[in-house]
Structure 1
């Protein structure tokens, strides 16, 4: 929803987007599960369900088994489903915040800026301690960008602008995708795979060398050329020692490394 803060310690001016992860209005999920819409009576019963320990018990089970809703959800009563929905909304909220933090460099340009995380209380003062974590609504404050959805572009934008708008949307999708792979994660994963391979096989196994080559390629695409060069050289050296000199994968690895070298200006353009 679009809101305007009357007084803000964030020094925000104008309209902002308040996005709430509120189980009470998760109408699509309720319809898919064929569960009754939220009512005030259900809310009162749900609060008592929390006080009786039901929500805490279900949260513990959901954390231990991510497939629980699929396995047992059809047998849940309305109060168990309310607890499940709140658990689901919390997960969606945490995931979205993590995504915005990961894409911090794109905020304000290609995606909205995340201004703040908020909590909307849904419990009275005397209930706060035992109930709040199961009823209070998490949310985020986002930059408001005036525009229309991509699906409605044809209704609002001149035809000559359609292609550039779609191309820009695709560019942003690619930017977001490229930011998902982080060098530190890739490096840690690569080292762990090599370590396990050496424990199991007593040496670096050929399949691990192929993995290292693929990892080198991924790292290069993320712009970490020096790291890609080092890993690529190590992979090729290991392939040679493993007798993979005539293997097609060896040739591919050498091509990948050649491209990386060229990008580092260590060899001329062909």
Structure 2
């Protein structure tokens, strides 16, 4: 077995590339220490980290969330695709294969086509090909999340966390421990840490009609800004412990709900016409994915907007 490099007390040096509209150009190096690993790890390890570097050229909070996109620990994906158990030997074999493996250059669609063809011929993919296949959606999730954060700047710090940039691990060879090795090729993002309670863990009494409506309003705001989210669920909403007051024009609003996790989201494509977009939104039904669930959970009187309703053609 490979020792997981994501554990409480671990320290990393990170290279941060700030978001596109940041006043800081170039990259920034910081040191962080892991305070908590959010369990269970499903697709991406998500870590609560403390900043251990002072005098930065960019203002960062002392506590942050580091989310990494590491195929080795995408546990749900590995189980779904029956990936082989990780070991030092399997990783060495993959790294030896990777430079010459054409799989690393395949798109996700090309991978799916190859896997369909292999299934028809009853060909089992090699362990190395399975690892390369897993790396492909992880890379897509990473890019999706960065694009959504950068696209939804107006909601950062309000309905969604602030986004501070892309990350890569800086490997210091003199401190390397073979059983605790981080991987410089693994990308990540650094975002605002939000202390609070996930919506699925909130008591029924705490799920007020106003809070339920706020969930739907946030989802609709994403649609209004050209975002399709295929992973809308209770677990991806946080009720802050200290809501605080947010300035918004001449009014003050309480920050009483924050949405997270946009890895399975995408922006509307430039070549996607109104009809195509409407059908994609209708079939995904992000609004219903949260509205109907809340209705079942706490009896909220959910009223669908039918904003993207598509009539069935006769």
TM-score computed with the length of structure 1 as normaliser: 0.57
Partner of 1:7: 53
1:168 to 211, 214, 226: 214
Q: Which has the larger radius of gyration?
A: 1
Ranges of 4+ aligned residues in structure 1 off by more than 4 Å: 121-125, 185-190
Counterpart selection for 1:16 from 57, 61, 64: 64
Going from structure 1 to structure 2, the CA distance change for 1:188 and 1:38 (only over 3 Å counts) comes to closer
2:153 is the alignment partner of 1:104: yes
Hey, what's the Cα distance between the residues in 1 that align with 2:270 and 2:72?
Answer: 42
Q: Which has the higher strand share?
A: 2
Residue correspondence of structure 1 range 174-189 to structure 2 within 5 A: 174-180=220-226
- Superposition deviation, residue 66 in structure 1: 5.2
Partner SS, residue 95 of structure 1:
helix
Question: Which of 65, 89, 97 is matched with 1:49 structurally?
Answer: 97
- Alignment RMSD (CA, Å): 3.2
Q: 2:105 aligns with which of 47, 52, 60?
A: 60
Q: Distance in 1 between matches of 2:270 and 2:187?
A: 34
2:49 & 2:215 partners in 1: Cα distance?
26
State the shift of 1:160 in Å.
5.3
Distance 1:123 1:86, change over 3 A: farther
Structure 2 vs 1, CA of residues 121 and 41 (structure 1 numbering), >3 Å: closer, same or farther? farther
Q: CA deviation at 1:175?
A: 0.8
Contact kept? 1:19, 1:141, Cα under 8 Å: yes
Instruction: Quote the Cα distance in structure 2 between the aligned partners of 1:103 and 1:85.
Output: 28
TM-score scaled by structure 2? 0.49
| 1:1-270 correspondence to structure 2 within 5 Å | 1-7=47-53, 9=56, 10-51=58-99, 53-54=100-101, 57-62=102-107, 65=110, 67-68=112-113, 70-71=115-116, 72=118, 75-120=124-169, 136-154=185-203, 159=205, 161-180=207-226
Task: State how many pairs are aligned.
Answer: 176
Structure with greater helix share of residues: 1
**Structure 2: where are the runs of 5+ without partners?**
1-46, 175-182, 228-267, 279-314
